[in-house]
A and B are shown apart, each in its own frame.
Chain A
């Protein structure tokens, strides 16, 4: 028996002899349309207005740092298009769009192709993609277990690092999962900036290891090292004069190197691997960053030759630990603890307030509960006790995430 739908057709090309055709073959070319999916993500947030102007003492934050807008907001929603291109390549594109205080913005979130059939376990990805740094970085926003990224990701990676580039991975021919990878990026996005070194401004090397333990548990561990070069990288500065829960990009400019080492560990447990009924996910990451270069006032436009500039050298640590438990189908609770520390040396007349390290270490406690009617819809309530900024505050979030149309399968 043979179905003349696209999927069936591809799968039967080399194999089955078609008996009866269930449906007439399509002739208008639609049969090869890619899978199209739309992910909608909306939030309602309540927090002290001052907390919306994001400051984490000791850190120069990228423009995506910060909280969801107060009240109702359209979070990062995403239009995904994916398809096999031919027998050698598969492709994925994602446009993300959001609206904040009446301003809509859209951006190319992802656009990459990936090889399917390289020999000897090699795989090449090219285009704009999420770096495989750490565990959380490559996860799409709609698969996050909390509304927001861990503080370490917000402070050191502008929430999530993606950039145009290329990735080569090698999967070892062993029972233990061992993946080695290198990535090279243009260096346009935070923590890089300005596409230094003629557009070769960032690179990452990583290794991932995983094994199953019995039939109920699986662990995954990884190490990564991201080295980036920033040229006149901008950062968040003063509160937005119009919307005081937003920040302006008028913080110090940075030119220099920003290198981050990361270690990650994830443990997933479900009785007999039956995730649908009950499961527990433990996740932790440690990031260590070193930045070296010069900072200059944003009014200069560029650090080089800026009168208001200083030498800056800083090291920072960030880690989080979280656990998410699904105690019955559809219902989950999660706890997360975040912590950052930094040690900066700024030598010169320009002493930006952002780099002053205060006595209190930035930290945050989060608790969330979510309900997923099916794997296509999720409603979440989250509470943060946020002690990362100059003023401690309580934050409450309500979120919906829904997926329509074709939806690519999730990675581990």
Chain B
């Protein structure tokens, strides 16, 4: 059993003692981590499963995430099947009854918002469609505000000792966020009716919020990478339609957007769909960045 020792000893030494906050939270996406921190401050410890640079549909069910999920009190995820490829494995293997679906420790954010693009017919020939509706709803801050109202209830329920703190911070956050939303909407007023082409059909909430008009997608069908045939078709479609920008996220390949941009002269822009793609460290900076990128594109595309 010598080989057992050789492998085990250094690994056991590497096991770090878990740091426990009053409320331990597992956020599937960084925007929820940011929201939890706004409300919970130093009383919470948040782990995030995905980042601005990876596609939330395709996260590996890493064992470290299972370890983390075993010890948390609250899980916050977009839901609506966005994480269907990995979250169920984590929930099943974590052996944590506090965060199973149906428990107060499992917050499916999609239940708090009005989902758009709910398909009337579900068929995988249509691509990677989501039967409950489009799950990328964090691109409209009003949805985040709606989730915050439920989140604070859960945090109070799970950690009543800090109830006053959470409620106070929630009120403070709501006031600041409400003001910020008004500001973003004013700043983005010129964007109304702006025509865009997007990589993935993940922007319906953003276009709904700011009145954008997304006229086409680089993916022929959701989840199917851009093909030369589809790109040429899109190229023809875009001629003379006044499209002002081609948008894609940091986790999507820039080749196809660049190809299309070179042939149409329409500029591209990286628009992150969650916190942390650039120097943005919280929800406020994230929407700032998003609105600024769009305004910049609007200026260039004229």
Chain A residues with CB under 8 Å of chain B are 1-3, 5, 7-8, 10-16, 22, 87, 90, 114-119, 121-123, 171-179, 207-212, 215, 218, 220-221, 223, 263, 268, 270-277, 328-330, 373-376, 404, 408-412
Contacts and interface: CB of A to CB of B under 8 A. Distances in A.
B63 A220 contact: yes
Interface of B: 3-4, 7-8, 11, 14-18, 50-51, 53-55, 57-64, 66-68, 70-71, 79, 84-89, 91-97, 100-104, 106-108, 111-114, 118, 124, 127-128, 132, 150, 154, 223-225, 251, 253
A177 B112 CA distance: 33
Contacts of B224: 373-374
A85 B259 CA distance: 50
A2 B111 contact: yes
B227 to A, nearest CB: 11
Contacts of A116: 91-92, 95, 97, 100
Given A173-B71, A277-B253, A10 B102 contact: yes
20 contacts: A3-B111, A11-B102, A14-B104, A15-B154, A87-B100, A118-B97, A123-B95, A171-B67, A171-B70, A173-B18, A175-B15, A175-B64, A215-B51, A218-B63, A218-B64, A270-B60, A272-B51, A274-B251, A275-B55, A276-B58
A412 B15 contact: no
A171 B132 CA distance: 33
Given A12-B111, A374-B223, A411-B61, A223 B15 contact: no
Contact of A171 (B3, B57, B94): B94
B92 A1 contact: no
Given A11-B106, A171-B70, 7 more contacts: A1-B114, A122-B95, A174-B18, A178-B67, A329-B253, A408-B88, A409-B84
A332 to B, nearest CB: 14
Contact of B70 (A1, A121, A223, A375): A121
Nearest to B14: A176
Given A122-B95, A171-B94, A218 B60 contact: yes
Contacts of B112: 1, 16
A133 B190 CA distance: 61
Given A15-B104, A16-B111, A409-B61, A277 B251 contact: yes
B104 A221 contact: no
A275 B64 contact: no
Interface centre among B3, B93, B107, B124 (most CB of A within 10 A): B93
Contact of A410 (B15, B85, B111, B132): B85
Contacts of B70: 121, 171, 173
B114 A117 contact: no
Given A11-B106, A207-B8, A410 B61 contact: yes
B15 A178 contact: yes
A8 B71 CA distance: 25
Given A175-B16, A277-B251, A409-B84, A211 B64 contact: yes
Contact of A376 (B4, B71, B79, B124): B124
The 8 A-B pairs at the shortest CB distance, nearest first, are namely A117-B97, A177-B63, A210-B63, A272-B53, A274-B54, A276-B58, A177-B67, A409-B89
A90 B15 contact: no
Contacts of B101: 7, 10-11
Contacts of B50: 273
A375 B128 CA distance: 9
Interface centre among A1, A114, A122, A273 (most CB of B within 10 A): A273
B219 to A, nearest CB: 10
Given A8-B132, A116-B95, A277-B251, A212 B85 contact: no
B4 A171 contact: no
Nearest to A118: B95
A215 B61 CA distance: 14
A135 to B, nearest CB: 12
Given A272-B51, A276-B58, A277-B253, A409 B106 contact: no
